[in-house]
Structure 1
Amino acid sequence: MASGITGRKGAEMKEELVAALVKLERDEVLGMVTQRIEAGEDPLGILEDCRQGMTAVGDLFQQGDYFLAELLLSAEIFKGAVAILQPHLAKSHSSQLRAKVVLATLKGDIHDLGKNILATLLQAQGFEVHDLGVDVPPPLVLEKVKEIRPEFVGFSALITTAFASMKEAADLLQQAGLRNGLKLMIGGGVTTPIVKDYVGADFQTLDAMEGVNYCLNVVGGR
């Protein structure tokens, strides 16, 4: 009986956190995150609830029910939640580095919400993430890959103007002989399997958690 109550309470707390994030209730979200982490909950579980809330916000944006202002506000709330969770996330995963990942929103796009969520989720799983930011020139990606030799490179896009930059960056990596052993990922609301083929990427997704699972599968969950 106790486990059933615990499970029901956990489900209710999850629903409340997701709903508060969707409603853009900053104080409520941060208060719930703080309360749950202080109660000893798994930070990865709390982070997953926040991610689901952000996914719901993204869906509302795609449907035209939310606009850019709401999207940006949700991103700020998410960042606040992550700031609370970060010290606990750092303690929750193995000290062994899984792999290196370079992330960027390339030239022609300045949206970084999806990229930031992926970066947080990857770091929580023990990946070393190098985030180059937004509106990044493709040659800068090449320089970073030469410098740190990552196992993964990920590009995010919310507008189609970034597709040409994605292909340019992929071509630069190929020409430099750096594509062998490197997994190239693309994601974001405007990406499709067709875009993946155009860019020459190995993986495409609209969901940050799918990106994390892909990386975990490639490294064998080590």
Structure 2
Amino acid sequence: GPEAVLIGVVHTPQLLPLQGKTLAEIARIGNKDPMDALFDLLIEDHALTSVAVFGMSEPDVALALQQPWVSVDNDSSGTAPDGILGQEHPHPRAYGTFPRILHKYVREERKLTLEDAVRKFSALPAQRMRLTDRGVLKAGLWADLVIFDPAKVHDVATFDNPNQLSKGMEYVLVNGVPVIDHSEMTGALPGKVLRGPGYVP
């Protein structure tokens, strides 16, 4: 129902106060039927609104994660906890996808081994996307590395307060260049767009 639909990012400035509210709350605020409130919002935001829908089965998520062919990725757009990107209300996965898997499904619930989780974050998606020079630690390949303490890493972002960086990610190297050093951003921008064999300019 409308209580299970949370408005995430909107693109129309006057709609910013609706970010982080449920469809039920927005309907009450506007004294409207939830379906009318939804369509009014979509029209006013030019159908660019993102939402989170709470209908997933936790046992199904855990079962899916345990399948050897299932990789973990993140489809969130670029975000930041402050500045212009901090005005958005993204899904918590924008900040916490990988730390959540490590904290919840590896450390707490033991649904995955650490090695399986890391493979699902790195080698498996690289293999799927045919990135033959990435995804594993091997001489001659690009050094994309994340160094973390498995006992401390955890997500902090919530649906109510999503713009929070995860904890425990000590170092991140992109193409061999540190972008996070002692959990602090270095300001380096060594990344580049990777285009697969299906790319058409």
Shorter-chain TM-score tier: 0.3 to 0.5
Question: Looking at CA atoms only, which structure, 1 or 2, has the larger radius of gyration?
Answer: 2
Greater percentage in helix:
1
TM-score of the two chains, using structure 2 as the length reference:
0.32
